[in-house]
Amino acid sequence: MTRQKEDREEHKMRLLIADDEQFIWRGLLSLNWKSIGITEVYSANNGTKAKEILLSEPVDIAILDIRMPGATGLDLADMIQNLSMPTKVVLLTGFSEFAYAQRAIRAGVCEYLLKPFGPKEVLSVIRKLVHEIEHRREQDRILSEVQTAEQCIDAPSQVSRFFSKTDGVVNDVLMDVANSYAGPVSITELADKYHFSENYLSRKIRQETGYSFTDILLALRLMSAVRHLYEGEKVSAAAEASGFNDQHYFAQVFRRVFKVSPSDWKKQENSPEVLHFHEVLSKVVEEKNPGTQQESK
């Protein structure tokens, strides 16, 4: 689907009107729905037809009569809730008994319209729901853009942003690690490069970041590995591209951190959030066995 088509789909607002009383059904269809943002209107004069539409079309709002042949409005509301459909339900009813209200609340019904009702009342109720849906869509759009941007940010940018308060030699070391984690990296080489002892540099990194050099390096490598696996690469290729020369060690540490083997991880439906450096680092620290890790080389 092209970006333009996606935008058009996002701006559509689809309404279903289902009522077996011809007078009410025709009256609702005659309202000026476009004036409140409705772009498409589906209609049904019985519960069976309404169910078919709900299961085949992306309905945003459904106005359902509480009593219809084939399936009642409450039956359809239950179905919508059980299938986790995003459709907002408005019930039309001439029955104000509390029992109906209780079941409707359990079925996730948004609003009631008690018969008889006027056009202004109907349009007001639906207008409010349209605004709620538009607000939710905007939030989803922003969240999607943020997540997509975060997924595209390279390792140095993620590390720099996460450790934004570091400066001087620690910042330089972190940038070195973020740029070269796929190759042989060690605290010994970095200490020699910056003319410090290993102990001093390790202590300095932990003091300024709150994390050990080993945890940071391992998180970067695992972040890279899960990205490669997420993109469909073979386990061996993902390990090698991320700085793991020992396949057995890679499988071992991956299982310890993610609680599943790399090959099984590929089969799962994983959240993009796990691809972010801070998420992987959190898992590394949370699941680490104190005293068993050594500096990676």
Q: Give the rounded distance of the alpha carbon of 140 from its chain centre.
A: 9
Q: Consecutive 10-residue runs of the chain (297 residues): their mean pLDDT?
A: 47 93 93 96 96 96 93 92 93 71 73 87 95 88 62 78 85 93 92 92 92 93 90 90 91 91 84 76 78 39
- Measured in degrees and rounded to the nearest 5, phi and psi for residue 99 equal -60, -40
- Ordered by start, the domain boundaries in the chain are 3-149, 155-287
Neighbours of 241 (CB within 10 A): 15
Q: Which of 110, 23, 104, 24 is nearest to 62 (CA)?
A: 110
How many Cβ atoms are within 10 Å of 195's Cβ, its own excluded?
8
pTM of the predicted model as reported, rounded to 2 decimal places = 0.52
The reported pLDDT for the residue numbered 141 is 78
**Homologous superfamily of the 155-287 domain (CATH):** Homeodomain-like (1.10.10.60)
* pLDDT, position 172: 93
In Å, how far from its chain's centre is CA 259?
21
State whether residue 75 is helix, strand or coil: helix
SS (H, E, C) 94-157: CCCCHHHHHHHHHCCCCEEEECCCCHHHHHHHHHHHHHHHHHHHHHHHHHHHHHHHHHHCCHHH
Q: How far apart are CA 184 and CA 158, in angstroms?
A: 21
Contacts of 97 (CB under 8 A, 6+ apart): none
Q: Which of 253, 258, 260, 247 has its CA nearest to residue 214?
A: 253
* 235 contacts: CB under 8 Å, gap ≥ 6: 229, 247, 251, 262, 263, 266
* Radius of gyration, CA atoms only, the chain: 28
Select from 119, 118, 56, 50 the least CA-distant residue to 89.
Answer: 50
CATH for 3-149 is: 3.40.50.2300
